[in-house]
Amino acid sequence: MSEAIKKFMFVNTKAPYGTVYALESLEVVLITAAFDQDVSLVFCDDGVFQISNNQNTEASGMKNFSNAYKALGDYDINKLYVEKESLEERGLTLDNIMDLTYEDDDWAEKPSIKLVTRAELADLMDDQDLVISS
């Protein structure tokens, strides 16, 4: 393991299931956290569909990996930014999005998801060492 800590931001722009990018990106996110890096995730454009509620893959035969997002908090990944405009453009609100949480140092349950505007997102990206989008 390296002593250097870098700020990794994973920008998810694609819907899940139609392509494998969302699933395989999540695997990179988990490994990056295992390297004790500063990890944050962005859900924008069709990426917001990755964390939509009530995903049911029973009849499609696809592997349902939506529960993996719920486990992110256990890996200390608790900076999940959802772009407000992307939700609005798709007729969605936070009610359509999974309730993702983490436990803080006092074991209090806190929300991991933060709604941000497009302009705020631009600032957040600008502040990273690495921005990896898929």
80-83, strands of its sheet edge to edge: 113-116, 80-83, 38-43, 7-12, 130-133
CB of 6 to other proteins, least distance (A): 6
Q: Mention every residue, 6+ apart, whose C-beta is less than 8 A from residue 33.
A: 39, 75, 76, 77
Of 32-40, 51-59, 73-81, 101-109, the window that binds other proteins (rule: CB under 8 A) is 32-40
- 40 lies in the binding site for other proteins (CB under 8 A): no
| DSSP per-residue string spanning 21-87 | HHHHHHHHHHHHHHTT-EEEEEE-GGGGGGGBS----TTT-----HHHHHTGGGGT---EEEEHHHH
34 binds other proteins (CB under 8 A): yes
Q: Which two tokens stand for residue 61?
A: 């035969």
Contact pick of 22, 26, 41, 44 for other proteins (by CB under 8 A)? 44
Using the contact rule CB under 8 A, the part of the chain among 17-25, 50-58, 71-79, 102-110 near other proteins is: 17-25
Tell whether residue 4 is a contact of other proteins (CB under 8 A). yes
Among 90, 110, 114, 118, binds other proteins (CB under 8 A): 118
Q: By CB under 8 A, name the binding residues for other proteins.
A: 2, 4, 6, 8, 11, 13-14, 20-21, 24, 27-28, 31-32, 34-35, 37, 44-45, 118, 121-123, 125-126, 128-134
